[in-house]
Structure 1
Amino acid sequence: MSRQISYSLVLLGAVLWGTTGTAQTFMPQTIHPLAVGASRLAVGGFSLLLLLLIMRKIEFKNWPWKATIYAALSMAIFQYLFFSSVRLTGVAIGTVVTIGSAPIFSGLIEWVILKRRPTSVWLTATALAIVGCALLFLNKDGIVVNPLGIAMSLGAGFLFAVYALVNKDVLEKVDTVPAVAVIFSMSALMLLPFLFLFETEGLLSGKSITVVLYLGIATTSVAYILFSTGLKQIPSSSAVTLSLAEPLTAAVLSVLVVGEQLDGTSWAGIAMLLVGILVLTLGGKKTKRVLE
């Protein structure tokens, strides 16, 4: 598989993630976001795992359990920290700090741990995308700068970067679909207690079940299979930067589907996000990461 196809797969996965917010608008607002997150992971992980077990397409001999547990734990805690930060700071700040910090953490982790120095292409693309993300969200109403919320957002960004890195280790030893099935089934088990701690009124209605199925299958199973397949061939830092296509998609859908209005600053942010993604996808094939 060429690197360009790998970039495209990661990008498609991020686009599917970007439909999550719009899909949730069709659910009752009484349902706590973390309950939605737990349900989403449960549907995505358990359905894949059950299918693989029925088809006997999964083999646990020599499975990389250590890296798998780290990936599952990272994703589970990410869900908790992100949704908690949004409650404390609002969607705008929580999203900007989480999504904007993840590529930075990913690049630093690769530099410090793997001794891979960031390339000029990655630095340029990441800077453009982060500034674009900030412009897209920072003009929203109801911004609250809560120190604990900011800390949780940074923690969420760090954990997504960790997930991408350890997931890459898992993918070196097992196929993509089994890896996604096991990681998200484990994450779902870790989050299931939250279904009993937070408000879930309306979760079992027909409309909510339909949305949860979409979130579990499309934005979790399919999206992370695409992300993980592409991740096999490209650096985790590049994959995390491409994940910034998620807020880009969410913003476009908010206009086309939800009917929201974006001002000039937001459109400028969208443009910078697009340029950053194009710089990485088109320039990545010409640049090799160099060992320090």
Structure 2
Amino acid sequence: MENKRTRLQEKLLGATLAITGAILWGIQGPVSQFLFQDNHLSPEWLMGIKMGISGILILLFTKFFKKEPVMTLWKQPKNIGVFIAYAIFGLAAVQYLYLVTVNLSNAGTATVLQSLGTVLIVIFTAIFYHQLPNKYEATAVLVALIGTWLLVTKGQLTQLAISTPALTAGLLLALAGSIQTMLPVNLLKKFSSLVVVGWAMLIGGILFTIVHPFWVDVPKMTLGTFLGVTFIVLFGTMMSFICFINSLRFISPTVAGMLDTFEPLSATIGAIVFLNTSFNGAEVIGGLLVLSTVFILALGSRNE
């Protein structure tokens, strides 16, 4: 009985971390859209800043506050290949493709396309782990996708206007999201999540600084620009990924991926706050459907 209670508490902690990370990531969308529209920032410039600073802060926190060694990852060469793949094709790709999709369309469209990664996770889990989703996970996926679609289309289900470049970037974003969720699972069993995320962030920051040095074409730093970039660095990037990757210690990649559907909910709220966007009844229903996935998963865990 005690073991069941402990396991339930771990699942609750994992779900809370995943939801928190998703909300912070979702709010980042409208903030990024504001920076792109009103301040003319480029995604490449923002990538170098946000990933580089986030990586450095995470590693410093790990070294001096958590008192954990930060070089352990590099002392085991057999893990470096998987880690580099995660850093570039998972974490950095998600960060970049999300900003590109927001820039080419809007925050809502970017979140609905990213949510397709949940479907890919379920498919990959079935193919590689021979583990089909149970009825609760399948129901939650369906409900989450319907809710997400309502939330970002305002009920106009056949009128999601999107350009070919935006659609391509969005589909690649979904693929990168599934890679980001599934690839680091074994790494997290061997190394601190802070070490994994910190180095991956720093690698991404260095990569995009090479592509677009942050000292070249520096945007005009108004108060709004400074606050927006600061939020994206500290909360939309660093805290969101720390929460998400730590959630994988307690819940499966499939469940973590489904809880990512809180992103469009927070993106909508963020759009209202930052961009004065209104929402209709269909968006309210979509938000409630997204929230209901937590109760569906909780019911599945209880019956399990």
Tell me what 2:17 maps to. 9
Residue identity matched to 2:46: V
> TM-score, normalization: structure 1?
0.86
- TM-score, normalising length: structure 2: 0.83
Instruction: Please name the residue that 2:112 is paired with.
Output: 96
Number of matched pairs: 285
Q: Cα–Cα, structure 1 residues 67 and 53, in superposed 2: closer, same or farther, change >3 Å?
A: same
Alignment correspondent of 1:112: 127
Alignment correspondent of 1:216: 233
Code of the aligned partner of 1:255:
I
For residues 277 and 36 of structure 1, what CA distance do their matches in structure 2 show?
Answer: 33
Percent of counterpart pairs with the same letter? 18
**CA deviation profile, 1:178-207 (whole Å, cap 9, x unmatched):** 1111111112222223434996422x4554
The corresponding residue for 2:4 is: none
Partner letter of residue 15 of structure 2?
Answer: Y
Deviations, residues 233-274 of structure 1 (Å, cap 9, x unaligned): 211111011011011012123335543211111111111111
CA-based RMSD: 2.7
2:189 matched to which residue of 1?
172
Residue 248 of structure 1 aligns with an amino acid whose one-letter code is L
Separation of aligned partners in 2, 1:22 and 1:86: 8
Partner residue in 1 for 2:52? 42
Cα 1:6–1:193 shift into 2, 3 Å: same
Task: Provide Cα deviations, 1:100-153, integer angstroms capped at 9, x if missing partner.
Answer: x11001111111112221111111111111111111112399953434432321
Contact 2:29 2:102 in 1 (8 A): no
Partner amino acid, structure 2, of 1:20: Q
Equivalent of 1:268 in 285, 288, 291: 285
Contact 2:112 2:149 in 1 (8 A): yes
Inter-partner Cα distance in structure 2 for 1:68 and 1:49:
16
Q: Return the letter of the residue paired with 1:59.
A: M
Over 3 Å counting, the alpha-carbon distance change for 1:86 and 1:222 in structure 2 is closer
Question: Which residue, 189, 201, 219 being the options, matches 2:219?
Answer: 201
Q: In the alignment, is the contact (CA less than 8 A) between 2:34 and 2:274 conserved in 1?
A: no
- Structure 2: 5+ residue stretches without partners: 1-8
Q: Do residues 123 (structure 1) and 138 (structure 2) align?
A: yes
User: What is the DSSP-based 3-state SS (H/G/I as helix, E as strand, rest coil) of the residue aligned with 2:250?
Assistant: coil
Q: Hey, what does 2:39 align to over in structure 1?
A: 29
